Each structure stands twice: as C-alpha cells, then as structure tokens.
Chain A
Amino acid sequence: MTAEAEYAAVPITVTVNGAKHDAVVEPRTLLVYFLREHLNLTGTHVGCDTSQCGACTVHLNGRAVKSCTVLAVQANGAEVKTIEGLADGDQFHPVQEGFREKHGLQCGYCTPGMIMTAVPLLETNPNPSDDEIKHTLEGNICRCTGYVNIVESIKWAAEKMRNQG
C-alpha cells in the first residue's frame, strides 16, 4: 500500500455555527485547525496546543471541549459552535457583554475559550457561586492573570440571563 493510500484523507460533514460544511481532511487534522485554516474561523485560538490552557474551547454537540485535542474526523456528523456563532446577529451573548462590562479581558487571547466554557455552565446553573465558576474555569488559563474580573464578568452575565428569564 502506498503511503498516500494508507493515510488517505477522509470526507467529513460538520455543522459549524448552524452551517453545514463538507470537507476532505487528513486524519491528523485537529478540529481547531479545521476551524481556523479550512473555515477561516480564527476566533478560536491555539494557546498551548497541549490541552492545558483552554484557549481553543468550542462546543461539540453542546459541550465545551478543547478543539486542539479533538480530531476533525471525530467531529464528523457533529454540531460545533465557536465564538463566532455565539452572538445573535448584532446582539452579543450575555457572557460576551459581561466580559465587556466587567473588563474581563486584558490581552484577550484566552477570552473566546473562557466564554465558551462559561456558557454551558450558565445554561445548566443559572446562579453559580464564585467557587463553582472558578472550578468550571479550571481548564482555562489567563496569562494576564485577570481571573477576578473574569469571574465578575460571568456573574454579571448570569444575572442578566436570570433577569431575561
């Protein structure tokens, strides 16, 4: 068998932010590079590339995952949501608004991952304690060390989402 045949590219269909994408990918393509380089969705960042930092967090079938540690072929048939798919038209998601209102970012590199990890938390736990928020963010690292305002941002969003009912 030739190397080309042995490592044959694989056809996949992935729904990203509601739009269906057919692609043919090398098996070793990581989901984050599929999003960034095939679909040009560069809002999802690559920080550590070793599943530590959480900058690459996206939703895979509604759950927060580190897209640097998922193969694109493993997302075949799945629904992916990235930071670009979070706003409703011009209307930011409350968690995005919270990060603006409470200064939840400095350099902004970790922000998309922080937000994508926080959203499922608030969907299942509308009024999380500081501790619950901090535990949820265990897998998201901010090198500016702006954690206090990140927690404040998520609490602001939680309150807004509760008020919206």
Chain B
Amino acid sequence: MSHDVASMFPASFGYVAARSVAEALELMVKHGEDGKLLAGGHSLIPAMKLRLQSPRTLIDLGTVPGLRGIKEDNGQLIIGPLTVHADIAASALVRKHLPGLSDAASVIGDVQVRNRGTIGGSVAHADPAADLPVILTALNATFVAQSPSGSRNIAVDDFFTDFYTTALSANEILTEIRVPIPVPGTGTAYAKLPHPASGYVVVSAGAAISRQASGTCVAARIAIGGLGSGPLRAVATEIELQGKPLTPQIIAAAAAKAAEETDPVEDSYAGAEYKRHVAGVYARKAIEAAVERARN
C-alpha cells in the first residue's frame, strides 16, 4: 500500500484477535500499558487516526464469542458489552422494559455509527458528550468487570470517575452491563440536545420515574449529560419530585433545579449559563416523557 498520499492512518500497531475473555486478560497482562482493547472501534479508531492514541497492540474483543446480545435474567436485562447501538435500539426486550435506553441508543451518531459502535466501548471510553452513560446512570446500571483474579460489580454512580476515565482497572475487562427492570408504574426516557454538526451531546437528560396510581412520585432518578466530566445526578430535582403529585407545574419547578450547583464545561458552541438553562429544559422533557410512559 502506498503511504505517500495524504491519508489519515493510525500509527503502526500490532493486532491480536482474542478468542476468549481469559485470553484477552492474558494479553492485557502481556502487553501492559502498550495494549488497548478494541470493541467496535468507533471511538478508538478516530482517536488513533488523529494520533491522540497510539497503542502498540490492539487486543480485539470482537472475535470473542458470547459478548454480544441482550437477555432477561432475574429481574434484570443483561447486555453484552459488544452489543451495537442499533441492536439495543431495535431490541423488543429493551423497548418493553427500558424504553429510555432505546431512546438513547437510537440517537447516537448516525445509522452507520450505530451499526458498529458498542455499548461497552462507549461506556469504557467515557466521552463526556456520550449518550449511554447518561441514561445508564438514570437506570441505575451495574457494570461487571472481570480481571485475572475474578469479577466484581461496579455501580454506575461509581463508574464514571473523570473525563474519559472509568473505575475499570488496567487489568479488567467489562463483561456485562446489567440494568434492573424497573418496578411496575415506572417510566424511563431520554432527551437530548445534539450538537448540530457532530451530533454529540450538548446537554441531555435521562429519567426514571416511578408513580403510584394516584399520580404521586414514589421514586425518581435523573441524570444530566454535557455539564461535567461525566453524567451528573440531578439530586435536587429528584428530591423535589419525591412524594409529590406529578403535575406539569411540579415537574417544571423540579426540572429547573437540574443544573443547580453545577459548573458546566463551556465550549465555543455553548456557554455555561446556556447549558444550565437547557439542562432544565431537557430534564423537564425527559421527566414528562417518563411520566407519560409510567401512566401506560
């Protein structure tokens, strides 16, 4: 191949197709900091073309059987980390139990990106402008991480630790995303203000709202994306809804508190004050949609 044309190639690297999680774990030990796991590659390959990342060896998880798919087990949906966004968006199980997750998976990037990008890759990459971390926070997901010494569960509230940084250790592989199926009377939803060019999150909100037949809110988990290094729980909004009738006025007042005490990351498209304002707007949209689904 000729490399004298002005093309964007990643720096040279070695490639190993892992055949099992155990083999991938061995390869991670062998290659240490020079190794990097490859899932769908839709965050990693662009970063490598820009030379923001230059791993010496890619360890491909795409060749490991059993890491892709969605199943129901003991009150949870268990999602394999190599499951692509398009399959999550189209899953009847997800639509039935976690429509908020369908919402989020169906607005990531574009059709082609959703056909390759994976849930595990997205959460492990932990882009602060990604969609899935936000809805998975609202849905109180748990991440199962396997290391050579065993596996452990990481709660979503402990998972996203900084910009592009998670609680996963260098010797761990994310093997499952577990999402509890909400109790009856719960609605879930995701609402997003996308950047008009990139499609990434400017601000987004995920909501899981449980209501009694009387219309009173019995539980609320709200997460906001785009404001910080990762998804933020809108605790003030959650407290404001708790035990109250879910009227439009109460929802609007609670949603307005979504960005309280946050210090949004500014960029050339959106300033901090604007982000704080639209966080309230998108929190309201997500809560209203979740309440509507909880009714049905």
Contact = CB atoms under 8 A, between A and B. Distances in A.
Interface string A3-17: 100111010000000
Given A30-B9, A33-B1, A138-B110, A71 B115 contact: no
Interface in B162-199: 199
A26 B1 CA distance: 9
A50 B48 CA distance: 11
A74 B62 contact: yes
Contacts of B57: 6
B56 A6 contact: yes
Contacts of A8: 14
Interface in A28-65: 28-30, 33, 37-38, 46, 49-51, 54, 57, 60, 63-65
Contacts of A33: 1, 7
B8 interface: yes
A149 interface: no
A96 interface: no
A7 B13 contact: yes
A27 B14 contact: yes
B130 to A, nearest CB: 15
Q: Size band of the B side of the interface?
A: 20 to 34
A64 B14 contact: no
A3 to B, nearest CB: 8
Contacts of A71: 15, 38, 41, 45, 58
Interface string B47-77: 0110000001110101000000000000000
A73 interface: yes
Interface string B31-55: 0000000100110011011000000
B253 interface: no
A7 B41 CA distance: 18
B52 to A, nearest CB: 12
A136 interface: yes
A101 B11 CA distance: 44
Contacts of A7: 12-14
Interface residue tally of chain A, by bracket?
Answer: 35 or more
A73 B60 contact: yes
B112 A57 contact: yes
Nearest to A36: B1
Contacts of B62: 74
A46 B46 CA distance: 14
B111 A69 contact: no
Given A27-B58, A46-B7, A70-B41, A139 B110 contact: yes
A28 B110 contact: no
Nearest to B86: A63
Contacts of A69: 41-42, 45-46, 116
A26 B109 CA distance: 28
Contacts of B17: 73, 76
A81 interface: no
Residue from the set A49, A60, A117, A140 with the largest chain B CB neighbour count within 10 Å: A49
Given A46-B7, A73-B15, A54 B41 contact: no
Contacts of B8: 49-50
A66 interface: yes
Nearest to B7: A49
A117 B111 contact: yes
B10 interface: yes
Contact of B41 (A6, A46, A74): A74
Which 4 residue pairs spanning A and B have beta carbons closest together? A139-B110, A27-B15, A138-B110, A63-B115
Interface of A: 3, 6-8, 10, 26-30, 33, 37-38, 46, 49-51, 54, 57, 60, 63-66, 69-71, 73-74, 76, 117, 121, 136, 138-140
Interface of B: 1-2, 7-15, 17, 38, 41-42, 45-46, 48-49, 56-58, 60, 62, 86, 109-113, 115-116, 199
26 contacts: A3-B12, A6-B56, A26-B1, A27-B15, A28-B11, A28-B12, A38-B1, A49-B8, A49-B49, A50-B8, A51-B45, A51-B46, A57-B112, A64-B112, A64-B115, A65-B112, A65-B115, A66-B116, A69-B45, A69-B116, A70-B45, A71-B58, A74-B62, A117-B112, A136-B111, A139-B112
